[in-house]
Amino acid sequence: MRAAPSHSDIPTGPATGPTAGSCDLTELISISPAIRQSIRVLVIDDERSLRESCASTLGVEGYHVTTSGRAQEAFEILKRRAFDIVLIDLYMADVPGIELLRTALATHRDTIVIVITGRPSLESSLEVLQAGAWDYLPKPFTGTQLQILIGRAAHSVVVARESRAREQLPQSPAANSDRLTVLGTAPLFRQAIELARKVASTDASVFITGESGAGKELIAQFIHAHSRRHARPIVAVNCAALPESLLESEMFGHVKGAFTGAVRDKAGLLETANGGTLFLDELVEMTPPIQAKLLRVIQDGILRRVGSERTDAVVNVRFIAATNRDPEEAVRAGALRKDLYYRLRVVPLHVPPLRERPEDIPLLAHHFLEGFWKAHRGARPSQPKLTKAAVWALRAYAWPGNVRELQNVMEHAAVLLEPGAQVRPEDIPFIGDTAGEPEPVAAADAALGDGGYYVARERLLERFDRRFLTHVVIRAGGNLSKAARMARVDRTTFYRLMERYGLQRDSLAPTLPE
């Protein structure tokens, strides 16, 4: 194998790599020569000079490199052999690179695919990332940029191998093999969970939206726990909780003397999350300068600590972002960079509020009550039980604080109730006096939406029906026949309305007492 070309020898254009004074970035990616030799790389490009230059550069780095200049040949190679990393030109002469991308992923699920192209665009980058590409490398690029990107991809390969090795180790019977589970049977919630489960096995960035307290961080933890990075940490950053200067230092780290009080070098949360996942909660609250700095890390993994004049680390992190605001509106208002948003929004995921999944409230309430009873009362028996009337009261409440508010209410009950108590509506804080009251004006206005008169009318009538039915069932103590008489509606019609709004009798937990 001939000597590696210099960084400027790859025929893709002028160098745009790290500035002078940077350390050797390849040294920051700690992969031993023996491991590099075990990593199989396939370069698919119909431009001979680029294909051979990439192969030479990576070959001298120690990777086991194969090349292909024709799409049909590449299809055959992918079917015969498994590769850890595949570089694919998006615009091949005979077959679109997107087809090769899908074939590579369909043939070998764990293959990391990097798409390269001389005609980069926002649309094409989103298309390949959503199709499962690990990253997107526009031409021109330098030898250094290629080495760094392949080094990061190789690090992901090593992480995946370590995770599989741990999974194959025998576990003790007491070990928790279920990783992280989430509770809920509502269709909207199950759709979100199935999407989270599907995307978890990839390294794609996920952008989670939903109201405060709806469970966005739990979904992020679920994705990480079911990913190939689960053996590494998930690090959460609340972008709204810290001022700009402190947030920058916490995320990127700082060097000694960078500011008053910086008495030593400190690694940031991005370095802590290396090999794992970084959860950026309330991303829209991050200031534009930090957004720009974060975008650089997302694009090439290069990290520079606050006050540093050199590259301090190359990190390999999976990003999950979340916000309780409308991200599209934030982009239009200039609060969120468009390029950062599209980089993080490879897979959008919405977590429905608790009021849109009322069938999950009994299950969650029972789970929280049981957990907090054990936490505060130890192994004492006679845990309090929710009565049917209490469950109806819980389901009737609007839950502006979502799951987090329900959790708080159940902890309050666990602390104050006596062993064996029958939990009634009046025993639940913030419920007894409001369960049958009209919704706040703001909530009613929000129900109007933008669907026109008839859509808004149906939406408000549905809310009225649901709250009225729940109100009379609570007053009837859970007796549906009595509730129908109080509503002055025949039982058949009352039961049909109950079923229409998901309030049927068998939605109650069968173990709950009357």
Together in a domain, 253 and 397 = no
Domain boundary among 312, 331, 352: 352
Please provide the distance, in angstroms rounded to a whole number, between the alpha carbons at the two ends of the chain: 80
Confidence of residue 455 (pLDDT cuts 50, 70, 90): confident
* Most confident of the ranges 146-160, 206-220, 392-406, 459-473: 206-220
Of residues 50 and 473, more confidence is placed in 50
Together in a domain, 58 and 27 = yes
Low-confidence winner among 114-118, 164-168, 249-253, 479-483 (lowest mean pLDDT): 164-168
Together in a domain, 345 and 363 = no
The C-alpha atoms of residue 259 and residue 497 are separated, in whole angstroms, by 65
Cβ-based neighbour number of residue 505 at 10 Å? 12
* Most confident of the ranges 77-91, 159-173, 318-332, 419-433: 318-332
Cβ-based neighbour number of residue 243 at 10 Å? 8
Domain with 501, as residue range(s), is 355-507
| Per-residue pLDDT tens over the stretch 206-223 | 999 999 999 999 999 999
Written as one letter, the residue type at 101 is: L
> Would you state the pLDDT for residue 178?
44
Mean pLDDT to the nearest integer, 373-392: 83
Mean pLDDT to the nearest integer, 311-330: 90
Specify the CATH number for the domain of residue 432.
1.10.8.60
> Would you state the pLDDT for residue 66?
94
* Most confident of the ranges 125-129, 319-323, 353-357: 319-323
Together in a domain, 236 and 102 = no
Of residues 226 and 123, more confidence is placed in 226
Confidence of residue 28 (pLDDT cuts 50, 70, 90): very low
Written as one letter, the residue type at 480 is: L
pLDDT value at 113 more than 50: yes
Residue 174 lies inside a defined structural domain of this protein: no
The C-alpha atoms of residue 82 and residue 223 are separated, in whole angstroms, by 26
Residue 10 lies inside a defined structural domain of this protein: no
> Would you state the pLDDT for residue 278?
96
Together in a domain, 372 and 239 = no
Together in a domain, 314 and 418 = no
Specify the CATH number for the domain of residue 243.
3.40.50.300
Which residues touch 47 (CB under 8 Å, ≥6 apart)? 89
Of residues 443 and 461, more confidence is placed in 461
Specify the CATH number for the domain of residue 145.
3.40.50.2300
Confidence of residue 272 (pLDDT cuts 50, 70, 90): very high
Residue 271 lies inside a defined structural domain of this protein: yes
Which residues touch 203 (CB under 8 Å, ≥6 apart)? 112, 134, 156, 227, 229, 318
> Would you state the pLDDT for residue 270?
93
At residue 313, the 3 state secondary structure works out as strand
Written as one letter, the residue type at 365 is: A
Domain boundary among 322, 337, 352: 352
| Per-residue pLDDT tens over the stretch 140-198 | 888 888 888 888 888 878 877 776 666 555 544 333 334 556 888 888 899 999 999 98
Together in a domain, 198 and 342 = yes
- Whether the CA torsion 385, 389, 391, 393 is positive or negative: it is negative
Together in a domain, 226 and 339 = yes
Residue 179 lies inside a defined structural domain of this protein: no
Structure tokens at 197: 């489960």
Q: How many domains does the chain have?
A: 3
CB 61 within 8 A of CB 147: yes
pLDDT value at 17 more than 80: no
Low-confidence winner among 129-143, 290-304, 354-368, 427-441 (lowest mean pLDDT): 427-441
Q: What proportion of the chain, given as a percentage, has pLDDT over 90?
A: 30
Together in a domain, 272 and 305 = yes
Q: What's the chain's average pLDDT?
A: 80
Mean pLDDT to the nearest integer, 233-253: 91
Residue 150 lies inside a defined structural domain of this protein: yes
Spell 116-133 as b/e; 16+ CB within 10 A means b: bbeeeeeebbebbbebbb
Together in a domain, 387 and 310 = no
Residue 171 lies inside a defined structural domain of this protein: no
Mean pLDDT to the nearest integer, 233-243: 92
Cross-strand bridge partners of residue 235: 278
The C-alpha atoms of residue 404 and residue 180 are separated, in whole angstroms, by 18
Cβ-based neighbour number of residue 233 at 10 Å? 16
pLDDT value at 242 more than 60: yes
Residue 6 lies inside a defined structural domain of this protein: no
pLDDT value at 372 more than 60: yes
Of residues 4 and 446, more confidence is placed in 446
> Would you state the pLDDT for residue 21?
39
Instruction: Show the DSSP H helices in 253-304 as ranges.
Output: 269-272, 288-300
Mean pLDDT to the nearest integer, 429-441: 47
Mean pLDDT to the nearest integer, 443-472: 70
Of residues 331 and 512, more confidence is placed in 331
Together in a domain, 111 and 219 = no
pLDDT value at 444 more than 60: no
CB 290 within 8 A of CB 263: no
Together in a domain, 162 and 29 = yes
| Per-residue pLDDT tens over the stretch 83-99 | 999 999 988 877 888 88
Domain boundary among 293, 317, 352: 352
Confidence of residue 290 (pLDDT cuts 50, 70, 90): very high
Residue 461 lies inside a defined structural domain of this protein: yes
> Would you state the pLDDT for residue 54?
92
